[in-house]
A and B are shown apart, each in its own frame.
Chain A
């Protein structure tokens, strides 16, 4: 069974600074997908970024980038130039692409951006 671990329950950072959220996972699969989702106070689950395990290049989406270390089973999210609107819960998630299609989530990191 796959497990996803987020070891930072809460983090805070000053506006405009850079913050890194950590995520590790455990799987015996070789092909899988990793995601970061954001859940602001509105409760909506919003995809931030996605990484395919077969791609060595780290995914980036504007101010958001990941550091994917497949051998170490690590998938951290870096938020650059943080903004007040980045305040949210952030969830790391894992998914295989055959058979069992569910997303397995980590326990989340509550990120607060301080003005």
Chain B
């Protein structure tokens, strides 16, 4: 009964490749997010979607393209991967407008070599 699930958990790829990370939530939440955690453990918002509509885009390079086919899914596609993209990427979800906590997936550790 995983609430927020991401696949894959680990991703190792070469520079220049294109890769996708998938996220699904079964909590019925309206809002989904992508966060990036860098090597110093700092967590920063990348995108948020509410009911498939992009709400937040925090000056992320346009090589990163989120896609939300429905409100239960938010995928992240990354083109032309660079070494600096190596990080842990977290998907999260929350109800809209209630100020409640976000529920996180288990993270995807992306390593670009």
Contacts and interface: CB of A to CB of B under 8 A. Distances in A.
Contacts of B33: 102-103
Contacts, number: 62
Q: How large is the interface on A (under 10, 10 to 19, 20 to 34, 35 or more residues)?
A: 20 to 34
B104 to A, nearest CB: 4
A47 B40 CA distance: 20
A68 interface: no
Which range contains the number of B residues in contact with the other chain?
20 to 34
Interface stretch (A13-21, A71-79, A90-98): A90-98
B104 A101 contact: no
Contacts of B44: 105
Interface in A78-95: 89, 91, 95
Interface of A: 31-33, 35, 39, 42-45, 47, 50, 52, 89, 91, 95-98, 100-105, 107-108
